[in-house]
């Protein structure tokens, strides 16, 4: 794919795209470098409330860089683990890298990943179809607002058990770090719920395309970048990065 963008094919919404197979939360524990961290997430076995700050049972030790309304809930494709384990001959287990949600595709659709989810996508976790709409007043709705930036804690987390250096840099280069949600509607969430894509206002804005633009050494015509800057929900630091990619003069 070029460093510009490609449009997703038109789809009819709402669409049942996946099932939620696991919900995870973590407790702040002693970590490396004499720090605390809740990067290791364990499965939750009962429904959990979700508000604007995320899962009420989930913790973040470093609230400056993790958590908050624009990083309320983290989802990571299981393929990330498969890629890491294949590349480095490891056995890193799912849940090690801080994700709250794990989904599984349905009806022959592709797994949710950075190539097919978009900034601005709104997903509903739970509810049922009825009269061409999705019912479920207590169902959580989440909006993708930014990719996750891999940090040194991924290195420290995996490095506790391996001698592999700087896996975070490799994950970043691959653009496979998952994404953060802002909570659109509070509710409760649990494993085995259906996942519906209910809104896709920016079908061009895949996380894959954003990652390529943000990390490119090239400059781009304004017409390539400006549509991204017009995405209201895109987290501000990403807009700053993209704005610097516009050709001047």
Q: Over the stretch 159-185, which tens digit does the pLDDT of each residue have?
A: 655 667 788 888 999 999 999 999 999
Q: Look at residue 239 and tell me whether its pLDDT is greater than 60.
A: yes
pLDDT digits (tens, 9 = 90+) for 114-149: 999 999 999 999 998 766 667 777 899 999 999 999
**Based on the structure, what is the number of domains in the chain?**
1
**Cis preceding-peptide flag for 14 (omega within 30 of 0):** yes
Residue 128, number of CB atoms within 10 A of its CB = 12
- Counting beta carbons within 10 angstroms of the beta carbon of residue 135, is it exposed (0 to 12), middle (13 to 18) or buried (19 or more)? exposed
Confidence of residue 40 (pLDDT cuts 50, 70, 90): confident
Confidence of residue 63 (pLDDT cuts 50, 70, 90): low
Cα–Cα–Cα angle for 232, 48, 104, nearest 5°? 70
Q: Is 221 part of any domain?
A: no
Q: Distance between CA atoms of 46 and 230, rounded to whole angstroms?
A: 39
Average pLDDT, the chain: 88
- Counting beta carbons within 10 angstroms of the beta carbon of residue 17, is it exposed (0 to 12), middle (13 to 18) or buried (19 or more)? buried
Least confident stretch, 76-85, 136-145, 151-160, 229-238? 151-160
| Average pLDDT of the segment spanning 214-240 | 97
- DSSP code at position 174: H
pLDDT digits (tens, 9 = 90+) for 192-218: 999 999 999 999 999 999 999 999 999
At residue 1, the pLDDT reads 33
Q: Is 238 part of any domain?
A: no
At residue 150, the pLDDT reads 81
Q: Is 219 part of any domain?
A: no
At residue 61, the pLDDT reads 53
At residue 9, the pLDDT reads 60
The rounded percent of the chain whose pLDDT value lies above 90 is 65
Q: Which residue has the tokens 């003069």?
A: 249
Domain of 151: which CATH number? 2.40.33.20
| Average pLDDT of the segment spanning 16-39 | 80
Q: Beta strands 140-147 and 122-125: pairing type?
A: antiparallel
- Residue 146's φ and ψ, nearest 5 degrees, are -170, 155
Structure tokens at 179: 């994404």
| CA–CA distances in Å: residue 193 to residues 18, 58, 204 | 9, 19, 27
156 or 5: which carries more pLDDT confidence?
156
The rounded percent of the chain whose pLDDT value lies above 70 is 86
Q: Is 164 part of any domain?
A: yes
Least confident stretch, 90-99, 187-196, 222-231? 90-99
At residue 159, the pLDDT reads 67
| CA–CA distances in Å: residue 166 to residues 24, 84, 211 | 25, 12, 19
Structural domain containing residue 136? 15-204
Q: Is 237 part of any domain?
A: no
Q: Is 122 part of any domain?
A: yes
Q: Is 186 part of any domain?
A: yes
Q: Is 101 part of any domain?
A: yes
């Amino acid at each position: 794919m070029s460093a510009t963008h490609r449009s997703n094919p038109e789809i009819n919404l709402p669409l049942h795209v996946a099932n939620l197979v696991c919900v995870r939360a973590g407790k702040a524990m002693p970590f490396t470098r004499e720090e605390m961290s809740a990067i290791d997430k364990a499965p939750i076995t009962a429904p959990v409330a979700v508000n604007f700050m995320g899962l009420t049972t989930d913790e973040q030790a470093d609230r400056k860089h993790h958590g908050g309304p624009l990083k309320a809930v983290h989802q990571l494709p299981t393929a990330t683990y498969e890629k890491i384990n294949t590349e480095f001959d490891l056995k890193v287990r799912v849940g090690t890298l801080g994700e709250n949600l794990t989904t599984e595709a349905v009806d022959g659709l592709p797994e949710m990943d950075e190539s097919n989810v978009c900034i601005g996508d709104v997903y509903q976790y739970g509810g049922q179809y009825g009269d061409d709409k999705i019912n479920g007043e207590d169902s959580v709705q989440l909006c993708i607002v930014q990719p996750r930036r891999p940090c040194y804690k991924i290195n420290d987390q995996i490095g506790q058990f391996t001698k592999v250096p700087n896996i975070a840099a490799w994950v970043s280069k691959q653009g496979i770090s998952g994404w953060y949600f802002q909570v659109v509607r509070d509710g409760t969430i649990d494993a085995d719920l259906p996942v519906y894509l209910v809104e896709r206002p920016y079908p061009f804005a895949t996380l894959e395309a954003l990652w390529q633009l943000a990390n490119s050494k090239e400059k781009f015509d304004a017409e390539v970048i400006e549509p991204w800057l017009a995405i209201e929900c895109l987290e501000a630091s990403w807009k700053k990065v993209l704005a610097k990619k516009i050709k001047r003069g």
